[in-house]
Chains A and B, each alone.
Chain A
Amino acid sequence: MEHKNWNLLDEALGLHNNDNDNAKPWPLCGRFVLVEDCVDTSAAFVLHHILKRSFSSHPSSAVLFLAFSHPFSHYDRVLRKLGCNLTAQRDNGRLFFLPMLMFQCPGEGKPNHDGLASMFEQIERVITVLHQDKKSISIIIDDISFLEVAANGSSDDVLNLLHYCLTLTSEYGCAFIALDHKDIYLNDGERTAVILEMEYLADILVKAEPLATGLAKDVHGQLMVLDKETHQHGISAIKSYNFHFKIKENGTECFYPGTKIQ
């Protein structure tokens, strides 16, 4: 494998640890990464980045992608510019793209969990098949808030589904990556359960925020990455990273505040 240019985001996610080492599992295996953003700053680029890295991490890695917000054509174009051909990966059986754009749980009066239960069965089926091939698997959900809308606002059902997905991470060693919009919950007194519980469960928390000074051409926002690492003594240490980013078509430029060299 050729030398890769790791950036700060890779470092913060711990992805740089297995450079040139295919024997080691992917660093995100068995971990839950929660990505949070807001209206002003979208963090979809973090998902694109992880998606790209997970394909290049190991020749036998596979990704299960649950798309709620964009169709395949969008991701195909975005990832192609990042240097990753999703159509080819899908044909190779390394990408399982489940379009959930039209997914809708049955309406009121009927039990909600039918829709979500069948969704989870679908996920589990794919994972068990992939696991037999000894692949390291990542599950990516591109928008939890859309999942909530699809579940008619039943946060309990959504949390159940997410919990089940989390059990897969411990059972099969999958990586679980999910995007949610933090600002939705900030002004909402009752319905904060989803985000609070997710934040608690997350192993790595990625927060994207706009700059306090407003929009800028050269700096698109700031990322805060919290890595709740657990040591063998049971003492957990939180590593935190703060840096600015600029999103480009072919990647993301990450730099510490004030250190950008033109």
Chain B
Amino acid sequence: MTTTRARVSSFSRNVSTVTSQNPGLKHGPNGTMLISSGIPDLDKILGGGFPLGSLVMVMEDEEAPHHMLLLRNFMSQGLVQKQPLLYASASRDPKRFLGTLPSPASPKGDKSSDLSHEKDIRIAWQYKKYFGEPQLNLNSNNGGQQDYCNDFDLRKPLDRHLFSGNNVDCVSIKDSPNLSSLQDQCAGFLAKLSRNEGNISSAGRIAIQSFCSPQCKYSNEEWHMLSFIRSLKSMTQSSNAVVVVTFPPSLLSPSCSLRLQHMADTLLSVRAIPDEDKELAKLLTGYQDMIGLLNVHKAARLNTQVPVILEATTFSIKLHKRRFLVLECLNQAPVDGSSGSSYGTSGGCSGSTKVGTLDF
């Protein structure tokens, strides 16, 4: 009940029309085409997904690999939909990383209905019969969207045949003295996806992991890296592709990191939460299930000047049943009555019923 689904009102923009020719694409606002981020909740938060031609930057937490969760789902989603993929990382053998990609959850329907039923029952099982009608609608909606965005089971590796094809390129940027070879590869990849052809047949994905990490030889040449990202951005703008770059901001000078943030169309950051932070645990509902926090700093605004203002910018990253990545709005736990404060009512921002420390 705390998921973003609750926020969808009848006035929300109808952007869920999947184009007939390609299930991986759908129309977004202002004449953009969207592809899925591979995380259903993130798609909902961003208003449908990543628009084609946009640059997504993810700021890493230098102590935790949470950005990999976003990157894996993004890549898997593309592979499931047979979209071309270019993956670059600073590891010696980037191809090996493909073996860790998650696989879509087993046949649609049973998982999602299972999930929502369970939740409803927990709310009020005796009213279950009243939920019958909308429940069906919801499931059919999910069924329609299933092709656009899958739920990924993080414990099940992706089928080998999906990434053994020739639509996947892997590049190691560990030993290259500069970025020109990567730039050439990106240019070649994006040239195949040029936007001029009118009808969009396929969308490409470029994933660059830990850009400017210290393993790379060019990591002290900030202007070189900046101009690479700049040219990557302008190449992407004229092609049917989405580029996701993760970078560790703490390893860069503040001004360089800010320049990268300005270049991003969509800017996200991930943060791990400390294991035993008593204060935070007291403050947030469901702290035990959280594995990290996701911040949405900027959402892409192509072809428009109106900024996207989200209702919340910080979300908790949770694993549902230890398998599915779920993003939820933060729920502040009600203030403990024993503290003598009278602001107990202002605690939950969307009415949490699960945890109530107040004793009536």
Contact = CB atoms under 8 A, between A and B. Distances in A.
B350 interface: no
Interface of B: 30-31, 222-224, 226-227, 230-231, 234-235, 237-238, 253-255, 258-259, 261-263, 267, 297-298, 302-307, 309-310, 313
A243 interface: no
User: Interface on chain B toward A: helix, strand, loop, or mixed SS?
Assistant: helix
Interface stretch (A4-12, A25-33, A74-82, A121-129): A74-82
A248 interface: yes
B303 A187 contact: no
Given A77-B31, A77-B304, A104-B231, A149 B259 contact: yes
Nearest to A183: B258
Given A41-B307, A187-B255, A249-B304, 10 more contacts: A39-B258, A39-B297, A48-B305, A102-B234, A149-B227, A183-B258, A184-B259, A188-B254, A216-B309, A220-B307
A191 B222 CA distance: 13
Nearest to A47: B305
B238 A184 contact: no
Nearest to B235: A102
A71 B237 CA distance: 7
Contacts of A191: 255
Nearest to A251: B305
A39 B261 contact: yes
Interface of A: 39-42, 44-45, 48, 70-71, 73-74, 77-78, 81, 101-102, 104, 145-146, 149-150, 152-153, 181, 183-185, 187-188, 191, 215-217, 220, 247-249
A29 B259 CA distance: 31
Contacts of A70: 237
A215 B313 contact: yes
Given A188-B254, A220-B307, A145 B227 contact: no
A42 B258 contact: no
B97 to A, nearest CB: 29
A39 B267 CA distance: 10
Closest 7 pairs (CB-CB, A-B): A101-B234, A187-B254, A153-B223, A188-B255, A77-B303, A149-B226, A45-B305
A71 B230 contact: no
B305 A247 contact: yes
